[in-house]
Structure 1
Amino acid sequence: MARELVFKNGKIVLEDRVVDGNVVVFDNLITEIDDTPTEIKTSIDLEGDYLLPGLIELHTDNLEKHINPRPGVRWPTAAALLAHDSQVIAAGITSVFDALAIGDIRDDSARLQDLNEMVSALNDAHRTNALRADHYLHMRCEVSCQKLTDMFTPLAKKTMVRLISMMDHTPGQRQFLDPEQYKSYYAYKWGKSSSEIDAFIQRQLAEGNQYSVSNRAFVSDYCRNRNIPLASHDDATLEHIEQAVHLGAKIAEFPTTLDAARAARQFGLEVMVGTPNLVCGGSHSGNVSAAKVAVEGLVTALSSDYVPLSLLHGVFLLTNATVGLSLPRAVACASIGPARTVGLEDRGSIETERIADLVRVHILNDLPMVTGVWRSGQRVA
């Protein structure tokens, strides 16, 4: 049954300004925005809190973290998915692109073993309406992987696939330009000896040289033929950006240098930075800080990557004195900007005839805190 919902006395964050006023929702759509006081008794009094559009996350591997919460621990897939969904909706994320790795740099990776189960669990949850956020698939393709095309083809047919990206973790480039940094990072991460990592690096270099070019072409052609947005990943140089443009990419995910971010915008790519980088004040792997990219006005999309709550925190950090974005512009980086990039034209802003995905945000000790979430006009958190 259709129902009306009225939010009053809030700071409504629109695409171009913040207004003190009310928002009216009928059924699942926003129908009215005004600044006239209302005395409707059944209205929701926001008490001066912010009302934001539901946040849109294009790249998170948070589901994988719930499936493998500790080394050697394998959580039941369906239960992990529900925990992940609860975490993202509590962070104000109403549309989420679950980034699942297709191929990996290790043949024994838990990601490879869990991939089909994760996709099946997402499909089952969709069918039974078990999820509170709106979930889509983002296929993260490791182009140096020999088995990429075999793994990719059956999964790409899923209707939930709305974004595909190309990763290349071959040593000595992109995220790890310094081979020694690559070596120390993975030796610590995997608990391997120096000689074991050296042997692994040699295998990776050989596989990258053999498979990366053909796999990039395969993924690019697939996206172009089906009108699926394509993203590059960890671009470090002008040449990386030129390659991404040639392959038809629309998004540069997590550029690792300022030069790459500048080039991406010059070529018309959307530039995504990670909000953990913003919250922590820099990159965990020694690359360019997201704040520096934002100061130059290059950021068009934010991603929580591996900490869902950091997306909202990152939005408000963009408004600090160092970066200096207006709140509407900062919010757009986690809402209407990503929505337009992936063709979700029905959401992403507080505007009449948009889906009523809304987030109430209270500021406590300078930190944004989610105190209410509505998806399609229904309260979900």
Structure 2
Amino acid sequence: MTDFHLTGATILVDEALRAEPLGISDGVIVPDQPGRAVHLPGWQVLPGIIDVHGDGFERHLAPRRGAMSDLGAGLLAAEAELASNGITTAYLAQFYSWEGGMRGPDFAARMLSALDDTRPRLATDLRAQLRVETHLIDDYPRIEALIAAHAIGYVVFNDHIPHAALDKGKRPPRLTGQALKSGRSPEAHLALLTDLHARRAEVPAALSALAARLAGQGVLTGSHDDQSAEDRAAARAMGLRVAEFPETHDAARAAADMSEPIVLGAPNVVRGGSHAGKVSAAALVADGLCSALASDYHYPAPHQAALRLAERIGLPAAWALVSSGPAAMLGLSDRGRIAPGLRADLTALNPATGRPGLTVAGGRVTYADHHAAAAMLA
């Protein structure tokens, strides 16, 4: 169906749930009631979820180590999981790292090409977020070329080098496993890490220059896992505007004080805290220190987190963290809310299950449980 309207449900409009019909025509929300009526009594229709950072797609691209022969098929499978969880726009967080394997530069190039090739077959708006290791300075030209070639609009930078161990001349933890994953011997992997570690003084100037060039091309950039207010200040000085997954209250507060977007992990909310002992995302939300919740590694988490937070702050405010908040951060003015003229990106919560039962992306149905399918065929 391209033209249809929903009836019987309550619709989240202007921060309030309203019992009114909702029309969809030619991929956008319209004020009238075109086409077939889809009756969903008791359901709640909400803006589609915008996932600003998630790497759950990796499980679809490589269900087993080395099984990466058809990335397009994996992306189609990832879309199905995204849609079943109410996600209508997803930024796939692809690493560009010295870690190798699915996080290595060559795989990043393969994945980005596969996404471009597969996109015409998708209804969900799948985009790439490149997640770059800061110390790969010699790769910056290649990284910049990939960003331009694949029209990547959001790039974050992180540093996973085990500096503390290397400073002490110790063998880093998990070295052998990382080496095997990267296809290097442990000795070669250690030599690479040592070389990258030795260049850490070069990073701020090189990264500042890269971030400035990207900003000039309209690319949003951010830092990942800031541990302190000082870390956030350093990232800001290099031009990295977004604070992704700050690990402490001080780091998040430092971002908020400068009106910088803050991305938190939805799984942290669902779990009731960080699995790594970092700051509680729910506590940061309660303090107003969150612009967007991201799936991180688990695609069901955004809707689960929003519904859990709704018990504290109300559904409109909680759902904004997975819809209008991400849209504003990413400059997506055509989505994130339910209003005439905007993209018909919607998810409807089935009262029988408490989870998304119907997802519509750009006016096309991307997921329908058996209750929604029956309503559509009635």
1:30-179 equivalence runs, <5 A: 30-32=29-31, 42-102=36-96, 104-107=97-100, 110-126=103-119, 129-171=120-162
**How much does 1:156 deviate?**
1.2
**How much does 1:354 deviate?**
0.8
How has the CA–CA distance of structure 1 residues 328 and 278 changed in structure 2, closer, same or farther, with 3 Å as cutoff?
A: same
1:1-381 equivalence runs, <5 A: 4-32=3-31, 42-102=36-96, 104-107=97-100, 110-126=103-119, 129-171=120-162, 203=194, 206-207=197-198, 209-320=200-311, 324-364=312-352, 368-381=354-367
Q: Name the CA distance, whole Å, in 1 between partners of 2:56 and 2:202.
A: 28
SS across alignment from 1:119: helix
Give the share of equivalent positions with the same residue, in percent: 27
How has the CA–CA distance of structure 1 residues 331 and 29 changed in structure 2, closer, same or farther, with 3 Å as cutoff?
A: same
Amino acid at match of 2:68: R
SS across alignment from 1:43: strand
Amino acid at match of 1:281: G
**How much does 1:201 deviate?**
10
How has the CA–CA distance of structure 1 residues 124 and 74 changed in structure 2, closer, same or farther, with 3 Å as cutoff?
A: closer
Q: Contact 2:133/2:158 (CA < 8 Å) preserved in 1?
A: yes
Q: Contact 2:348/2:357 (CA < 8 Å) preserved in 1?
A: yes
**How much does 1:222 deviate?**
2.0
**How much does 1:67 deviate?**
2.1
**Residue of structure 1 equivalent to 2:373:** none
Structure 2 residue ranges without an equivalent (≥5):
368-378
Q: Contact 1:52/1:350 (CA < 8 Å) preserved in 2?
A: yes
**Residue of structure 1 equivalent to 2:376:** none
* Bigger Cα displacement from structure 2, 16-25 vs 211-220: 211-220
TM-score normalised to structure 1 length = 0.84
Q: Name the CA distance, whole Å, in 1 between partners of 2:301 and 2:363.
A: 24
Amino acid at match of 1:137: A
**How much does 1:268 deviate?**
0.5
Q: Name the CA distance, whole Å, in 2 between partners of 1:28 and 1:258.
A: 41
Q: Name the CA distance, whole Å, in 1 between partners of 2:283 and 2:238.
A: 27
Amino acid at match of 1:26: S
* Bigger Cα displacement from structure 2, 277-286 vs 182-191: 182-191
**How much does 1:155 deviate?**
0.5
TM-score normalised to structure 2 length = 0.85
Q: Which has the higher helix share?
A: 2
How has the CA–CA distance of structure 1 residues 146 and 246 changed in structure 2, closer, same or farther, with 3 Å as cutoff?
A: closer
How has the CA–CA distance of structure 1 residues 264 and 110 changed in structure 2, closer, same or farther, with 3 Å as cutoff?
A: closer
Q: Contact 1:145/1:208 (CA < 8 Å) preserved in 2?
A: no
Q: Name the CA distance, whole Å, in 2 between partners of 1:212 and 1:265.
A: 25
Q: Name the CA distance, whole Å, in 2 between partners of 1:256 and 1:219.
A: 25
